[in-house]
Structure 1
Amino acid sequence: MYKHILVPIAPGNGRDSDTALKVAERLLAEGGSITALHVIEELPPYVQDHFPPGQLAATSLRMEEKLEEAVAGREDTQVAVVTGHAALTILDFAKNKGCDCIVIASHAPAMQDFLLGSTAARVVRHAECSVHVVR
């Protein structure tokens, strides 16, 4: 059983985040906690200039609200929204927050995943803690 489980969630991408949260609940030790995390990809400054001021803050707030809906009614679960490269940020968050397990939803690999790699694959390869992949 794990004391702090990280569940990366990307609302609206077709991954089954509810199943990942259920798996995390089953793996959670008594008194443990779950963090549902959403990573907003950073945009280069030359792209950010084309968005209205405050767009990142508004997007972060909207994602936080979606995460709150996804974890509604689940005890010992908090949410976090951060910016950065998805896989690297998930790995850094897990390490910095002392997570001992990551439960991440994935999909059946398509051709582009073999060429570019998926976020879940990168997390599995580089995590310093246990990783459970849910399909």
Structure 2
Amino acid sequence: MYKNIIIAVDLSHGEAGKELIDRAKALIDDGGTVRLVHVLEDVPSYIAAELPRDLNDRRQAEAKVELGLLAKEVSGNVVSEVRTGAASSQIIQAAEDHGADLIMIASHRPGLSDYFIGSTAARVVRHAQCSVLIAR
């Protein structure tokens, strides 16, 4: 069905990522690519001044290791990538950069700002140029 799937993985909710990977296995064509993308939010400068200088490097390294472990669960062509910035815009940018035909993202339970789907998932749905599958 799909040749290039982006799975937005929030490493703080590991089970959701595993469920998305299981769904992707059923949707990917032979020879297709699954790309696991985790986005580290920027630390505001007024907070960053009080944190160790190498914190971002450590966060990035830890995220790469965790994504690598998740990637092992998928057979076939699996790539993992860690980006930094606003989650929704980085997920959309990853899809555009790699020519994705599907973005898969988990949604948390809604708050008042986005009643039906989570705010990151809502932004991805509104702005993505490809199909988006939201799992709850």
Q: Is TM-score (shorter-chain normalized) higher than 0.5?
A: yes
Which residue in the other structure is 2:122 paired with? 121
- 2:109 matches 1:108: yes
Which residue in the other structure is 1:87 paired with? 88
Secondary structure of the 1:113 match is: coil
Secondary structure of the 2:11 match is: coil
Secondary structure of the 2:109 match is: coil
- State how 1:1-135 maps to structure 2 within 5 Å: 1-13=1-13, 16-75=16-75, 76-114=77-115, 118-135=119-136
Change (3 A) 1:14 1:32: closer
Secondary structure of the 1:12 match is: helix
RCO higher in structure (CA 8 A, sep ≥6): 1
**How far apart are residue 14 of structure 1 and its match?**
6.6
Number of positions where the alignment pairs a residue of Structure 1 with one of Structure 2: 133
Q: Which runs of 5+ in 1 are unaligned?
A: none
Q: Alignment RMSD, CA only?
A: 1.6
Question: Are the aligned partners of 1:15 and 1:106 in contact in 2 as well (CA < 8 Å)?
Answer: no
Q: Which runs of 5+ in 2 are unaligned?
A: none
Q: Percent identity?
A: 35
TM-score (norm 2): 0.89
